[in-house]
Amino acid sequence: MKKVFAVLLIAGGSLALLNNLGYLNVDDIFQYLWPIFIILIGLSGLKENTSGKLFPLILVVVGTVFLARAFGYLYNFDLTDFIWPGILILIGVSILFPKSRAHMNVHFHTSSEGKDKSDKQWNISDKKEYTAFMAGLEEKIVSSDFKRVSVSVVMGGADLDFRDIVIQDTDAYIDINAVMGGVDIILPRGYRLDIEGTPILGGFENHCESNPNADKTIHISYAVIMGGVEIKH
Domains of the chain, residue spans: 2-96, 104-232
Confidence of residue 71 (pLDDT cuts 50, 70, 90): confident
Write the CB contacts of 115 (distance below 8 Å, at least 6 apart in sequence).
109
For position 161, what pLDDT does the model report?
A: 96
* Selected residue with higher pLDDT from 83 and 185: 185
For position 102, what pLDDT does the model report?
A: 38
User: For residue 172, which of 184, 155, 190 has the smallest C-alpha distance?
Assistant: 190
Distances (CA, A) of 127 to 147, 179, 186, 206: 11, 21, 16, 24
What is the C-alpha separation between 141 and 146, in angstroms, rounded?
A: 9
Which residues face 205 on adjacent strands? 230
Average pLDDT, the chain: 76
pLDDT above 50 (res 78): yes
Confidence of residue 202 (pLDDT cuts 50, 70, 90): confident
C-beta separation of 146 from 165 below 8 A: yes
Write the CB contacts of 35 (distance below 8 Å, at least 6 apart in sequence).
62, 63, 64, 65, 66, 67, 70
The average pLDDT across 176-180 equals 84
* Selected residue with higher pLDDT from 7 and 213: 213
What is the C-alpha separation between 101 and 110, in angstroms, rounded?
A: 26
The average pLDDT across 5-12 equals 68
Concatenating the DSSP letter of every residue in 88-150 gives HHHHHHHHHSPPP---EEEEE--STTS--SS-EEEEEE--SEEEEESSEEEEEEEESS--EEE
pLDDT above 50 (res 114): no
Strand order through the sheet with 104-108: 104-108, 120-125, 136-143, 157-165, 182-186, 228-232, 203-206
Count of CB atoms within 10 A of residue 36's CB?
Answer: 20
C-beta separation of 62 from 68 below 8 A: no
Lowest mean pLDDT among 46-55, 142-151, 171-180: 46-55
* Selected residue with higher pLDDT from 197 and 10: 197
